[in-house]
Amino acid sequence: MCAVPTVIISDRDPQFRSVFWTNLYDMLGTKLAFSTACHPRTDGLPERMIQTMEGILKRFCAYGMEYKDHEGYSNDWVTLLPAVQLAYNTSQHSTTRKTTALVEKGWNPLLPVDHLKKNLLTIHPTAKDFH
């Protein structure tokens, strides 16, 4: 789920106001909005997301989970990021009981496991007992 955001909310970091970023926002049609200074609710959401992604990446790397890229297998967190992002965006969140994909796009992407599950239930109807 990689799309160009229509709005980016920044914590007033001067880096986001540089000529480069300002021009990029203009070209992409992205509006830059700044959070209220010292507003814990606005500041806390991105920080929590970063903590969650860091935790997932640490577990992937620490336990040697491998992600196959076009050059082979890698434990490098940068190459693991697309898989982690897909896992996060398609996981049901405890507070909303919905996936990020459903909240942002209005639909859940079909994953290979969804097709396998459907076909398995068609072939072996008793497989639903193991869900």
pLDDT digits (tens, 9 = 90+) for 85-116: 888 888 898 888 999 888 888 888 888 777 77
> What 3-state DSSP class applies to 36?
coil
- Would you say residue 131 has pLDDT above 60? no
Sign of CA dihedral 9, 14, 19, 20: negative
pLDDT (0 to 100) of residue 98: 93
DSSP alpha helix (H) spans, the chain = 19-28, 40-62, 77-89, 100-105, 112-123
User: Both 96 and 116 in a single domain?
Assistant: yes
pLDDT (0 to 100) of residue 128: 64
| Integer Rg of the chain from CA | 19
pTM confidence score = 0.55
User: Both 60 and 76 in a single domain?
Assistant: yes
pLDDT digits (tens, 9 = 90+) for 53-83: 888 888 777 766 666 667 776 667 777 788 8
- Domain with 118 in it: 41-130
User: Both 13 and 59 in a single domain?
Assistant: no
User: Both 46 and 30 in a single domain?
Assistant: no
